Amino acid sequence: MAARVLDGNKIREEIIADLAVEIRELKAAGITPGLAAILVGDNPASHIYVRNKVKACQSLGLYSEKIELPSEASTEDLIKRVGELNRRDSVDGILIQLPLPPQVDTQAVLEAVDPAKDVDGLHPVNLGYLVSGRPGLVPCTPAGIVEILRRGGIAMAGSQTLIIGRSNLVGKPLALLLLREHATVTIAHSRTRALAPLARQADILIAAIGQPGLVTAEFIKPHATVIDVGINRLTTPEEIRRLYRQSSVPLHQLEAKGSVLVGDVQPEDASEMAGAFTPVPGGVGPLTIAMLMVNSVRAAKRRRMDQKKTTTGSR
């Protein structure tokens, strides 16, 4: 029996519908949550990501602004702009679109963001909250993966969960979030030996690697849940034939569009072996921006409601 598809677009719609109610309530209290995105240089993918984030804000009625800096901007230039946004009350969330150019000290810029406005959840204060289990702002892609599992009806508590990938952006924070959900978490990475037999023990297998189709049938325990975080762009028919042995649809897509997006999991193997899986595109991807919107609203609520309480309290 073919595996159940965990539809990221559908789950995103559910999250956005819930969020729209919260935004209406905030607006009724005179608060319009606002997000500012800092974009450095002319990386085309970064421009597309920021455009999509601004669009998502607009469709939800959030305030948004885009700050563009030239590719030769320095660490000091960025920290100065971040400082200005930290002080502006109308800005609830500050997003630094990564990657930054090589001359910029990325960590110093991320650490300059006010933790209360750190909607990407990458400030050490928020990462510390995550480690110690206190409420804070959580990185968007890992938060989206937990939403997929929760809303997809996948039991996390007690599950054997393997995450392949140990990045600060995905693997590490995801491990902490899943621990919070009472999963038994293992993290694998590029130096892990005998990866396939290890993966085959997992009830939930999460691939966040960046290598097209690395996860094949021999990695997947029958009926496991497979979450594919990878986003890889293929541009040759040979690469596509290696990933798709049955379907010729991707080859037609390549002819029409010049490239095809794939994940880290062999899609046909996931469909045959897994109990449920996320497709690429249309799985984890749509959740990342949705969770950015959730974080922006959460940041606005916490900071501005706190301000209101303090002002009222001091009267």
Q: Provide, rounded to whole angstroms, the least separation between the CB of residue 191 and ligand NAD.
A: 7
Q: Which of residues 56-85 bind ligand NAD (CB under 6 A)?
A: none
- Is 216 among the residues that bind ligand NAD (CB under 6 A)? no
CB 287 → ligand NAD: shortest distance, Å?
7
Taking the complex as a whole, the smallest distance from the CB of residue 87 to ligand NAD amounts, in Å, to 30
Nearest to 285 by CA among 252, 307, 263: 263
Q: How far is the CB of 315 from ligand NAD (least distance, A)?
A: 45
- Residues with Cβ within 8 Å of 130's Cβ and at least 6 positions away in sequence, in order, are 121, 136, 138, 173, 176, 177
Contacts of 178 (CB under 8 A, 6+ apart): 146, 156, 161, 163, 185, 204
What's the gap between Cα 204 and its chain centre? 18
The whole-angstrom separation of Cα 5 and Cα 7 is: 6
- Closer CB to ligand NAD, 80 or 189, in the complex: 189
> Per CB under 6 A, does 210 bind ligand NAD?
yes
For residue 124, the surrounding DSSP H or E stretch is helix 124-132
Sign of CA dihedral 2, 141, 185, 106: positive
Please give the size of the binding site for ligand NAD, defined by CB under 6 A: 25
- Choosing from 53, 117, 172, 301, which is the catalytic residue? 53
**Which range of residues in 57-65, 210-218, 234-242, 299-307 is near ligand NAD by CB under 6 A?**
210-218
Judge whether 66 counts as a catalytic residue.
no
Show the binding pattern over residues 141-170: x = contacts ligand NAD (CB under 6 A), - = does not: x----------------------xxxx-xx
Which of these is catalytic: 92, 118, 120, 228? 120
Return d(Cα 16, Cα 182) in angstroms, integer: 26
One residue of 19, 174, 204, 208 binding ligand NAD per CB under 6 A: 208
Closest residue to ligand NAD: CB criterion: 167
Residue in 223, 205, 225 with CA at minimum distance from that of residue 215: 205
Is 53 a known active-site residue?
yes
The residues pairing with 5 across neighbouring beta strands, listed in sequence order, are 277
CA distance 86 to 122: 15
- Catalytic residues, by residue number, are 53, 97, 120
- Can you give the binding site for ligand NAD, defined by CB under 6 A? 141, 164-167, 169-171, 188-190, 192, 195, 208-211, 214, 229-232, 284-285, 288
